[in-house]
Amino acid sequence: MMVKTPQGFDTGKIGQVNAIVNAFFKKTISLDNCLCSLDEVVNAPLTCGCLTTLLAFAGSSFAGSALMFHGSWIDAAVSGALGLFVGMLFTLASEYPIYGRIFEISASVMVAIIARALHQYVCFTSVAVSAILILLPGYGMTLAVMEISARHITTGTVRLVYAVVYAFMLAYGLQVGSTVYSAINPDAPDEGTCRDPVSPWFYIPLLPVLSISISMCFGSSKKQWLSQTFCAAIGFSLCYFMSQVIPDAHIVGSIASFAVSLYSNVALKFLGEAPLAPMCVGITLLVPGSIGVKGAYALLHQDDVSHSLFPLQMLTIALGLSVGLFAAAMIVYPSGKRYSLYISL
């Protein structure tokens, strides 16, 4: 027997729960009021509804293609349309759990077929991987490594294995879709038409679009968007500029995650804002999941034997991110957070 839980996050409600629990912990509200407030949060509608989720999938794929996968404007537009399509499938999977069991593979297959069919206009990798950006398992991989580092062996190992298998599932779907179209049109090039990428100057307006889209996918409220965008800008800017002088992605990721975690914990200390909300967006932009999906796809496609080490690449980058997160928390709270119960990483 298989039990499927509803998909998605709701960091807006997490923020409300944090505030309620800490108010009770500090004895500013009674137990009855605390329980009533928690019941209201549980019964309240989702922070981001169906339409918002669809816009978030489209916006994240559009901006992610240009920002993270060096796509052109045409690649970004097509990826945004495919992201909207994936968002529709995601909504369908949330409503019908029986479809949710094959959602990831079916979405990857259809995205790959459409991306290959448009090979005369778009670059396959820039479009296909960015179209499933929200599905990439990098955030889960980072959580897994952090849990293992914190000696939570059981949950960490389960998350770790799931993230690697999940990356293989997405890559398998892309490979199946690509193979299906190759059978229809054997002369079509595998990578399609890769044009000049978007100018880096356009990263400035695209980054808030990507950050807010990811925030909406995590179910963040509007008042959390500014902090999450600022946190994402810190991580992305450090990655972009430091990668120009430091070729090692592990070191760059560690420094960027350190800055993201430092901001999140400082915001908690001085503003009382739950660090999980900005941190989840900042870490998602440093996602190692795309490396795993592209590596697994290349392995299945038999393009490069070196990509067979994709699980190790995912693991090492996630380990670098976790080191940065732990180091920042240690600096801001060297003796721990004694008087709060805020949900953090």
Please give, one letter per residue, the 3-state secondary structure of 164-192. HHHHHHHHHHHHHHHHHHHHHCCCCCCCE
Q: Is 338 in a helix, a strand, or coil?
A: coil
pLDDT per residue over 172-191, tens digit each?
888 888 888 888 888 878 77
Res. 69: pLDDT tops 80? yes
Average pLDDT rounded to a whole number, residues 136-149: 71
Which tokens go with 331? 């600096």
Of 81-90, 107-116, 315-324, the least confident: 315-324
Are the C-beta atoms of residues 38 and 17 closer than 8 Å to each other?
yes
Q: Cα(101)–Cα(238) distance, rounded to whole angstroms?
A: 38
Do 22 and 153 lie in one domain? The reply is: no
Please indicate, yes or no, if residue 343 is contained in any of the structural domains: no
Higher-confidence position of 314 and 76: 76
Please indicate, yes or no, if residue 110 is contained in any of the structural domains: yes
Res. 78: pLDDT tops 90? yes
Domain coverage including residue 64: 50-332
Are the C-beta atoms of residues 293 and 129 closer than 8 Å to each other?
yes
Higher-confidence position of 290 and 247: 247
pLDDT at res. 328? 74
* pTM of the complete model: 0.82
pLDDT at res. 79? 92
Beta-bridge partners for 192: 123
Q: How many domains does the chain have?
A: 2
Do 32 and 101 lie in one domain? The reply is: no
Mean pLDDT, the chain, whole residue set = 78
Res. 242: pLDDT tops 80? yes
pLDDT at res. 287? 65
Do 109 and 195 lie in one domain? The reply is: yes
Do 36 and 103 lie in one domain? The reply is: no
Please indicate, yes or no, if residue 341 is contained in any of the structural domains: no
Higher-confidence position of 134 and 270: 134
Cα–Cα distances (Å) from 209 to 1, 80, 139, in that order, read: 41, 12, 19
Do 207 and 226 lie in one domain? The reply is: yes
* Residue 44 pLDDT grade (very low, low, confident, very high; cuts 50, 70, 90): confident
Q: How many CB atoms lie within 10 A of CB 179?
A: 15
pLDDT at res. 233? 87
Q: Exposed, middle or buried: residue 240 (CB in 10 Å: 0-12, 13-18, 19+)?
A: middle
Do 135 and 266 lie in one domain? The reply is: yes
Res. 62: pLDDT tops 90? yes
Average pLDDT rounded to a whole number, residues 215-227: 82
* Residue 292 pLDDT grade (very low, low, confident, very high; cuts 50, 70, 90): very low
Higher-confidence position of 309 and 162: 162
Q: Residues near 334 by Cβ (< 8 Å), separated by ≥ 6?
A: none
Percent of the chain having pLDDT more than 90? 10
Do 70 and 190 lie in one domain? The reply is: yes
Please indicate, yes or no, if residue 24 is contained in any of the structural domains: yes
Cα–Cα distances (Å) from 39 to 31, 132, 219, in that order, read: 12, 34, 18
Q: Residues near 45 by Cβ (< 8 Å), separated by ≥ 6?
A: none
Percent of the chain having pLDDT more than 70? 80
pLDDT at res. 4? 44
Are the C-beta atoms of residues 49 and 216 closer than 8 Å to each other?
no
Radius of gyration in angstroms for the set of CA atoms belonging to the chain, rounded to a whole number: 20
Do 155 and 170 lie in one domain? The reply is: yes
Higher-confidence position of 207 and 25: 207
Do 33 and 123 lie in one domain? The reply is: no
> Which alpha helices (H) appear in 1-102, and where do they start and end?
11-25, 31-43, 50-68, 73-95, 97-100
Please indicate, yes or no, if residue 225 is contained in any of the structural domains: yes
Q: Is 123 in a helix, a strand, or coil?
A: strand
Please indicate, yes or no, if residue 337 is contained in any of the structural domains: no
